[in-house]
Structure formats: C-alpha cells, structure tokens
Amino acid sequence: MALEDAKTQVDEAFTRKDLKGPSFENTFGGATSFLRRKYTKDLTGVDIAVTGVPFDQAATNRPGTRLGPRALREASALQSPDAPYGWPYDALSEMAIIDYGDLAFDYANVPAFPETLTDHVRGILDAGVASVALGGDHYISFPILKAYAEKFGPMSLLQFDAHTDTWPDDNMDRVDHGTMFYKAVKSGIVDPARSVQVGIRTTNEDTLGVNIIDAREVYESGPAAVAQKIKRIVGTSPVYLSFDIDGLDPAFAPGTGTPVWGGLSSIQTAIILRDIAGIDIKGGDVVEVSPPYDTSGATAIAGAHIATEIICLLGWAKRK
C-alpha cells in the first residue's frame, strides 16, 4: 500500500485532500510541510495547527534559530508515513492537523513583534484549535503564553530547558530570550506553583516559586518517576509545554545557540513526554533549533520528534 501510494503522492503539503492520515510521499522529495500536513489558513474542522515563528532577534549568543522552522519541517518528513511509536492511538490519523505556515512580521520592527505573534496565536485559539509553534528563539513563548492565558487563565508552564529563563527584567518591552518567564510569572500569566522546569543545569538563585527538576534529578530518579512528579505538580491545570532544544545534552542536540553539557538524553525525553499523557495540555512549542550549528541534522530530527510528541499529547487530551 505504501509503495503504491509513494508512486502517486507528491507535494502532499498542497495536494492532499484529507486533514487526517499518513503520507507516503517520498521523504527525500516534495514540499516540506510539517509531517506532510496540508498548508492552509482555513481552521475549519482543525484540531491542531502547527505554525512556524522564524524569529531570533532575542538571542544572547549564537543566532540562526530563524531557520529552525524550515529545518524542523524537513526533518519531520521521515515521520509522516507511520503512527508515532509508543502511543496507544495514531494521532496522525485521528487528529485533523494542518501546517498553518509561518508568522508574517517585519523583521526590522522588533518592538512590534510580540503583539504580532500574540495576535497570530489568538486567531488560532479563537477558532478552537490548539497551536504547536516551531521556533525561533525562546522569547516567542512569552507572546504565545499571553494568548493562552487570555483564553484559559493562568497557565501551568512545563518547560524543558538548560536554563530557567527567569533572570530579573522588569522592562516588559525588552525582547530577551533569557528573561521572558520572569515576566510571565510577574505578569500573572503563568502560575509558578503549578509550573515545572525540567533539565535545568545553570545557576539562577531566584526560581520565583517555579518547581525545578534539574538534569541530575532526571538522571538519578529516572524519567518515569519524573513524569509522575510532573503530573502531580501540574494537576488539572491548563498546561503549556515549551521545549528548548538545549534541554537535551549537546551530544543529542548540538545545533543550538546556548549549549550546556550534562543534559537530557533522547530516551529520557521520550519516556517523560509519553508518560505525562493525561495532563490538560493546551498547546506547546519547540524552540532554539539553530541549523547553522546542526551539521548532521540531529538537532532538527530531535526537535521534529518532540513536536510530534506534543501533537500526540494534545490529541490524547482532546480524545479524552
């Protein structure tokens, strides 16, 4: 069946009719939408919209994450024919998933960027659709969280990262990928008591009350136990999952702007993401994939898998 389909399927990003189901298009050819989903701005009947945010003007070290959405789409092509492994259902066949394309913004007008992004995600949520954003640097989570908090109230932030990104910054207009969660907590859009930061391995004395599961605890406790701890902390709160690819060790994700040794492995991450199924997740993002430093493509591959796991978590929450 797959072989016969591969003979006829091409540019499924534009030609596919159904928003559900696998794609058997040759992985090495065709237009690279995320998971070969249809490119469309029509949110009618859609469950999940994947959208790119090619922004990296907030980076403090190596830039290049503006190229992340394109790389993540290309890497995802290998996953498009098969049901995501390890799940008791096939999210690609049960959920109506689209590629909503990239955010349009004026790259030279950085002060206008945050509200442009908030409004973009607000439009998705107003249609009753969940978003999965492909970054871009990590600052993008702050404008996105604003849209989610408008709809669902204060969010539980589930953040995978080497850094807490809660360094003090009381200037809400500054665009910085290391301070946006400080602003999110201080502005009340994130509930710190119900939030968790996983994989942390850099020093920041003031956690603002956010629960920390550092990389050593993941290693010593094991990923299954960590997943259960996450579920206890977030409880029944609405969750936004933000995955900075530098949460992974540089051995698994070298293509990022601020790599830190001693991070999570791919299998630890996979187990945690699958075992937290059942949380009330509303949306998520994968950020900080920087293709110029990703010579093998391994970082984009990891990021594409993580984005797919977020889709599976959203689908699991929706079908329940």
Q: Return the higher-pLDDT residue of 319 and 200.
A: 200
Cα–Cα distance for residue pair 141/154, rounded to 1 Å: 14
Strand ranges (E), the chain: 38-39, 48-53, 97-102, 130-135, 156-160, 196-200, 211-214, 238-244, 280-287
Distances (CA, A) of 320 to 112, 227, 235, 256: 38, 19, 16, 35
Instruction: List pLDDT tens digits, range 218-275.
Output: 999 999 999 999 999 999 999 999 999 999 999 999 999 999 999 999 999 999 999 9
Annotated binding site: 138, 161, 163, 165, 244, 246
Question: What's the total number of domains in the chain?
Answer: 1
Residue 3, pLDDT score: 59
- The residue among 319, 308, 149, 169 whose CA lies nearest residue 238 is 149
Domain of residue 306 covers: 2-319
Assign residue 43 the CATH number of its domain.
3.40.800.10
Q: pLDDT for 171-198, tens place per residue?
A: 989 999 989 999 999 999 999 999 999 9
pLDDT digits (tens, 9 = 90+) for 113-152: 999 999 999 999 999 999 999 999 999 999 999 999 999 9
- Indicate the annotated binding residues for Mn(2+): 138, 161, 163, 165, 244, 246
Mean pLDDT over all residues of the chain? Answer: 96
> Could you identify the residue written with the tokens 């016969």?
4
Residue 232 neighbours by CB under 8 Å, 6+ apart: none
Query: Sorting pLDDT into bands at 50, 70 and 90, what band is 8?
Result: confident
Could you tell me where the DSSP H helices lie in 95-253? Answer: 113-126, 141-152, 180-186, 215-221, 223-234
Longest dimension (CA), the chain: 58
pLDDT band at 210 (very low <50, low <70, confident <90, very high): very high
Q: Phi/psi class of residue 278: alpha, beta or left (left: φ > 0; alpha: ψ in -120 to 50)?
A: left
